[in-house]
Structure 1
């Protein structure tokens, strides 16, 4: 597995990371153990979770148990800020410390490699959040800090504050990015590139639409789309089905799958440090890792741009 630099932090992460949002929700401890073992065997070193995953805390607890002694060999990332019910939410200094201590306890570790602000907190000045995160780095509880779902302007503001106060800056941003969702290319990615931050894209398969298992008018039982009308409405649009058809043809004409195209395209983007992908079965881990191996040429990348950002022609 290729190891990449996480922005300009000096930390390295696997080109494909494991998103742990299914642990404690769709997966019990035994299934979590199997997925984590498969990830470790495939060379995945980035394990990304959040306090809110797994019905608030379940993902961290199960991931910690599944990793055991392997924790020291991997990059462990978690996030804070979402509503944790009675425990609170947000990015105020006192809450950050409380949230981190709870995450460390659930994960069974005394430090995180990467601690990320999950969502913006309009009630807390960004300077207060960054100042507290800087203290946690100095205390050795956190090695590096990142953000998720912030606007380009907020990321730029955070960088300016960190420089002004000599604080630890955000080294990464975790945002939705895929062949079908490319909005962040307009403003956020240029800022990340300028600041030498690493992008950790989530939903690389557009909630599964790029997995290759969906056809227009047919939604298999037990899939994410089968249980979410909102996801269907957002992703299963005529425009996206048109793009998926052309992308499938593009991949298959080169003896690759749609899934392999989705991962390899993301891995080819200079700003991407690691592609965050969830899994519910060990075999999905192997598929995801293998999928990122396709080295796309400049001509192929241009053709993909035409399909996904230009006026795509209807697929046959």
Structure 2
């Protein structure tokens, strides 16, 4: 039924959203392998999995000869880098592609939020506690410096946030949230901006300050 609604005969990448503690991982991986074997799905991935969960699932798949997770989608941006501790290192070792979501921290990394005015009218930051948690003096300072850094190179803060992610090891794509078509067009420009290792180092120094 899902394929009919999508008007397709297969899904290129089918991702499991979050670890299910109530279902044995053997059942999950076997069911996913059946989808791949039947031709309905080409590749499988995971979303919001911890490194140990990915390792357990893929080890089981390898032992049984089943399809393994080839991607993991997780929360990652300039101000949220927890996945660099375990998840991304696992992805590097096991050659798993990493797909970040919330690349703009709910809009905070667009550079349109200011410490004087706060969240723009109608933005997610007006109502989302998730975004409000980033609205600290330290983070405003970082975004101000990064915005200036990007503008010196004729780019926007939003483009920089995406380009920085695309420059990270194992990142194969970025899930970019948007509310307007022009946001999609602006964010797509980041794909043409390939940061050098030196530039990434400069950005990381600003973020670490």
Superposition TM-score, scaled by structure 1 size: 0.63
Aligned residue in 2 for 1:200: 99
Partner of 1:113: 12
- Alignment match, 1:274: 173
Aligned to 1:304: 203
Is 1:210 aligned with 2:109? yes
Could you tell me which residue of structure 2 aligns to residue 244 of structure 1? Answer: 143
1:143 partner SS: strand
CA RMSD of aligned residues (A): 1.5
In the TM superposition, what whole-angstrom CA distance separates every residue of 1:249-287 from its partner, at most 9, and x where no partner exists? 221233322112111111111301111112332222211
CA positional deviation for 1:136: 0.8
Mapping of 1:127-276 within 5 angstroms?
A: 127-216=26-115, 217-228=117-128, 230-276=129-175
Residues 99-157 of structure 1, C-alpha deviation per residue, up to 9 Å, x if partnerless? xx4x3344333321111111111111212101110011111111110000000111111
Contact persistence 2:107–2:131 (CA under 8 A): no
Q: CA distance change for structure 1 residues 236 and 105 in 2, over 3 Å: closer, same or farther?
A: farther
SS at match of 1:147: strand
Find the residue that maps to 2:101 and give its secondary structure: coil
Report the Cα distance in structure 2 between the residues aligned to 1:181 and 1:287, rounded to whole angstroms: 22
**Superposed displacement of residue 192, structure 1:** 0.6
Per-residue Cα deviation, 1:269-311 (whole angstroms, up to 9, x for no partner)? 1301111112332222211111232221221111111122x2x
Distance in structure 1 (CA, Å) of the matches to 2:126 and 2:9: 39
Q: 1 CA distance for matches of 2:182 and 2:188?
A: 10
Q: Which structure would you say has the larger RCO, counting Cα contacts within 8 Å and 6 or more residues apart? A: 1
Q: Distance in 2 between matches of 1:303 and 1:242?
A: 15
Q: After TM superposition, where is structure 1 displaced by more than 6 Å over at least 4 residues in a row?
A: none
Number of aligned residue pairs: give it: 208
